[in-house]
Structure 1
């Protein structure tokens, strides 16, 4: 799985298309001003979720003003449930509600169609 976060060395790339059906978990949040410990916890969660069988990847974006959208992709609902019920993740969720998030929303959607384009690997038109 490649890292889809922005880094000074590389531009972020989207998660590649997968064979449907699979699921997208969309987490949109507005932060509080108290971000103490958030970065470290987010990094830990990104590493931990990779251990969930059926985890396919993650895309993230933050808009000016702080609105953040994270989309996690999972092969099936069982993988999402495993991630949701992970005890370390549950502790991070609890701290997020108490300290880091002014508000958030969570949506789970079934992906029925998926394709991708990459200029560097695209076949020439026929």
Structure 2
């Protein structure tokens, strides 16, 4: 059993459907120079997108990282996709930080949550 004494960890809440998710799964390269700063900037920037609902992040011990971004509607997702700083970060990611990645975008039609009392 893991030690839960660290800061509380919780997934993004379940929202009333429909809404959209962007699932970005990646394996990064060895050289991550500048990645942390750029990632932090992207996390701050996406919060300013009207309709951004939140994001979940996970990483496996083997190096697979997964980010799921939640968006109220397709317009919010389009605004994020076309943001100039985000586009520049994507370009740098392909050139420097990612060995490979996949992006899946889906419309959520059903959503529920559970929380132990």
> What is the aligned counterpart of 2:26 among 6, 24, 29?
29
Q: Number of aligned residue pairs: give it.
A: 113
Unaligned runs of 5+ in 2: none
1:11: Cα distance to partner? 3.0
TM-score normalised by L of structure 1: 0.86
Between the two structures, name the one with larger relative contact order (CA 8 Å, sep ≥ 6): 2
Deviations 1:56-114 (A, max 9, x none): 00000000121000000001111011000101101100000000000000000110011
SS in 2 for 1:26: strand
Q: CA RMSD in A?
A: 1.1
1:19 aligns with 2:16: yes
Residue number in structure 2 paired with 1:79: 76
Unaligned runs of 5+ in 1: 1-7, 121-126
Distance in 1 between residues matched to 2:89 and 2:30, nearest whole Å: 17
1:1-126 matches, within 5 Å, as: 9-120=6-117
TM-score normalised by L of structure 2: 0.93
Distance in 2 between residues matched to 1:41 and 1:13, nearest whole Å: 24
Give structure 1 regions of 4+ aligned residues with deviation exceeding 2 angstroms.
Answer: none
1:9: Cα distance to partner? 4.7
